[in-house]
Structure formats: C-alpha cells, structure tokens
C-alpha cells in the first residue's frame, strides 16, 4: 500500500522551506533557520518533514508542487537527493551527495552540498584551527566524509588520510579526490605509529557511545580533534581526545549552523551571522 505523501503547513505571504529526513523530529534546522530569518528580516517559514525511506522522490515532488522553495536534506536521503536533481553544483557533483535543494520557478531541482564549507568555516573561523600544511586524519568513509574533502583541500593541507573499517569505501573516496592533493586510504590497523595533529571523526559512532578503532597514539601531542556529530554533552570522541592529550576539541554543532548559513545564503541571497545562533544553541 503506497505511503501518504507529506503535506506542508502553508502560511500566506512567506516562502516555504524545510528539512527532510527520517528520523527528523530531533533536527535543529527549523530553530536555526528561524533565527536566521529573524536576524535578516527574510519572510520564510521553515518546517521539519518526515519522509518514508522508500518515498523520497515522490515526496519531494509533492512538496514542490505545494510551493516548497528549498530543502535541507539529512540522513538517509543525501544520495537520493543527488540522483533527483536536474542540476548540481560542482561540489555536489564531486561529493556524490546533496544536502541543499532549491526549487526553481520552472520546477527544476538544483542541488548543492554545503557540508564541506560548513566544516571549514567552523574549524577556521570559529575554532581558530590552522589547516594549511598539516596532516589531517579522517575516521570514516561515508557520504558525510565525501562531502567535506573538497573544502578541506581548499585550505591547502599537507595531506589527508582516510581510515575506515571498509578499505574499499575509503579507497573510492581517495581516488575521487586524488586530483586535489595528497590523499590516501588506510584500514585503522594500517595507521601504525603515525600521529596526526588534526583528527576528524566522520563516523556516527558517537551517537551510539562508540569510538572508531583508532590506534592508541594516533593523536599528536597538543593536537585538535573534531567530531562531526553533536550532543548536549561532550561526545565520547571528545572525551577520548581529552584523555589522549588533545589541546582542544569540538563537536559538529558549529558545522551544522555554518552549513545552514550557506544554504540560507543560496536561497535568500543574504548571509546570516552564524555566531549568535551557535551561541544561542550552546546556551
């Protein structure tokens, strides 16, 4: 029996946007974009829309026909969003995933991926982390990792190493971005005695209270650790970092807000100030 397609709660005299996922009730995106709208004076409405896992394309088309102007896409639909798009930005094309949809006046879907620039801005502008000429280790090789590689290379690191349980997935990502600079794929056990000044957790293991299988001495003394997941308390990966001599660590809340700010700018042509929104959510 086919699923009922989602319905927008329509409000007059505003443009409608949403976040689409499954699950989606936990998403902070409505709070973030409403804060952006209030800050910039943009007349928008932003909702969270639950979509059944086997009805993504039909659901998005139905939402567009109801007047949807754009959507943020979260798990598990970023690859399906990429396939749905009529046109994609260069960064979305390379990532193989779309997290920002725009609906054109002609009814076409334009896709972009703002995850990488969101991470880069949080690391560089909010955390004060220098990436140039540094060796970066990324744990994990899912779609979230593919979405950040291009932007990390824009910061001119010395090298990027992707470590993952499934070496094939890591190798596929490394091959896709080999034209950007020094990048390699390794199994966790192959990291050996190498130590990195910057480690990014691109897995979702923190949400289950688990850690990637990194070697004991993989973090260089005084290094920085970034967990792309976020929770109300420091994640287990951040606690691991503290126990292993990190100078500082951060979770992915800043990345979430920064990627949302990029999406808002794409939709509305005005860039909101992300810092007060991050501070509001932290509070």
Question: Is 1 labeled as ligand-binding?
Answer: no
Question: Is 159 labeled as ligand-binding?
Answer: no
Catalytic pick among 69, 78, 88, 121: 78
Question: Is 259 labeled as ligand-binding?
Answer: yes
CA distance 34 to 125: 23
Question: Is 230 labeled as ligand-binding?
Answer: yes
Let me know the angle formed at the C-alpha of 143 by 82 and 221, rounded to the nearest 5 degrees.
150
Question: Is 115 labeled as ligand-binding?
Answer: yes
Question: Is 86 labeled as ligand-binding?
Answer: no
CA distance 242 to 18: 37
Total length of the chain: 283
| Backbone phi, psi, residue 274, to 5° | -80, -25
Question: Is 47 labeled as ligand-binding?
Answer: no
Question: Is 53 labeled as ligand-binding?
Answer: no
169 assigned to active site = no
Question: Is 283 labeled as ligand-binding?
Answer: no
CA distance 62 to 224: 44
Classify residue 175 as exposed, middle or buried by CB count within 10 Å of its CB (0-12, 13-18, 19+).
Answer: exposed
List the structure tokens of 205. Answer: 């293991």
Question: Of 219, 206, 225, 221, which Cα lies nearest the Cα of 129?
Answer: 225
Strands (E), the chain: 15-21, 44-50, 68-73, 87-88, 100-103, 109-112, 135-139, 159-163, 183-186, 196-201, 219-227, 248-250
CA distance 23 to 31: 17
List the structure tokens of 36. Answer: 């952006």
Question: Is 144 labeled as ligand-binding?
Answer: yes
Question: Is 269 labeled as ligand-binding?
Answer: no
Residue 220, helix vs strand vs coil? strand
Active site residues: 78
Which residues define the annotated binding site for shikimate?
A: 27-29, 74, 99, 115, 230, 259
Which residues define the annotated binding site for NADP(+)?
A: 140-144, 228, 252
Which residues define the annotated binding site?
A: 27-29, 74, 99, 115, 140-144, 228, 230, 252, 259
């Amino acid at each position: 029996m086919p699923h009922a397609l989602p319905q927008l709660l329509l409000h007059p005299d505003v443009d409608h946007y949403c976040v689409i996922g499954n699950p989606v009730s936990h998403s902070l995106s409505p709070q973030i974009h409403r804060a952006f709208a209030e800050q910039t004076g943009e007349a928008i409405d932003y909702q969270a829309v639950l979509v059944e896992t086997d009805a993504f394309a039909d659901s998005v088309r139905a939402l567009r026909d109801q007047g949807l102007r754009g959507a943020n896409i979260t798990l598990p639909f970023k690859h399906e969003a990429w396939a749905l798009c009529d046109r994609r930005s260069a960064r979305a094309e390379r990532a193989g995933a779309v997290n920002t949809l725009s609906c054109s006046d002609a009814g076409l879907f334009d896709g972009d991926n703002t995850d990488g620039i969101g991470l880069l801005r949080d690391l560089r502008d909010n955390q004060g982390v220098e990436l140039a000429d540094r060796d970066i280790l990324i744990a994990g090789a899912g779609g979230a990792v593919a979405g950040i590689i291009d932007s990390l290379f824009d910061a001119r690191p010395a090298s990027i190493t992707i470590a993952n349980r499934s070496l094939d997935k890591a190798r596929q990502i490394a091959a896709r971005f080999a034209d950007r600079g020094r990048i390699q794929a390794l199994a966790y056990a192959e990291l050996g005695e190498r130590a990195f000044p910057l480690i990014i957790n691109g897995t979702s293991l923190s949400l289950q209270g688990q850690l990637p299988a990194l070697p004991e001495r993989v973090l260089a003394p005084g290094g920085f650790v970034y967990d792309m997941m976020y929770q109300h308390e420091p994640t287990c990966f951040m606690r691991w970092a503290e126990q292993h001599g990190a100078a500082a660590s951060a979770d992915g809340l800043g990345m979430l807000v920064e990627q949302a700010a990029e999406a808002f700018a794409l939709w509305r042509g005005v860039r909101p100030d992300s810092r007060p929104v991050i501070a509001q959510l932290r509070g």
